[in-house]
Copies of this chain bind each other. A is one copy, B any other.
């Protein structure tokens, strides 16, 4: 009983995700679906990004949380439109679905947007199962979470084009081998790209933004 229901839900989601993708393609907006565990540093990575972008290129953010607009508040003040989605009224969903993104896109001036960052609900499992219309999923994993996470939560790493290892400023206080994290991620997804960043010190943020700009320019080869 459950599996046909789940398949139907996923198929319905994917149809709306495809609509979102077409709509974003019309405006040539490069869209990242950023996933990762609670507290892995997704919002902090976006803060550091928006701080540097300051509207060039023009970014927009969709924040997904079960409850509160705390993350949207953190991201206000960067000359960047931020739309908060709360999933609690919809059953406390543990992930963003395409329909929620469709509604959020109505609230963004797409003609004035080059980049769209979607910060998913903090969860290393369920968001990986749902397309929302993004060009790329990116998974964030903090150095405090341990080396084994790609092996234990494989779908998030298989579905993501890029792994951003966050909070590398803490490495010196931990027993953690970043090469081992990378090797485990590549065991699951050999082609995954990997970047190491600290939004606190700024290390690696330029490389992360270069990756974003590279993907944006592929979407806009004429620009």
Residues of A that sit less than 8 Å from B by CB? 2-3, 5-6, 9, 37-39, 65-68, 70-71, 91-92, 94, 121-126, 129, 142, 144-146, 148-149, 151-155, 167, 170, 173-174
Chain B's closest residue to A70 (CB) is B148
> Are A68 and B151 in touch, CB under 8 angstroms?
yes
Instruction: List residues of chain B with CB within 8 A of the CB of A3.
Output: 91
Nearest CB of B to A175, in Å: 9
> Are B153 and A38 in touch, CB under 8 angstroms?
yes
A sample of 11 cross-chain residue pairs with beta-carbon separation below 8 angstroms, ordered by A number, consists of A2-B9, A38-B145, A66-B153, A67-B151, A67-B152, A70-B151, A94-B123, A121-B125, A122-B149, A126-B126, A170-B170
Instruction: List residues of chain B with CB within 8 A of the CB of A149.
Output: 38-39, 122
Nearest CB of B to A120, in Å: 11
Instruction: List residues of chain B with CB within 8 A of the CB of A124.
Output: 37-38, 122-123
Instruction: List residues of chain B with CB within 8 A of the CB of A38.
Output: 37, 124, 145, 149, 152-153
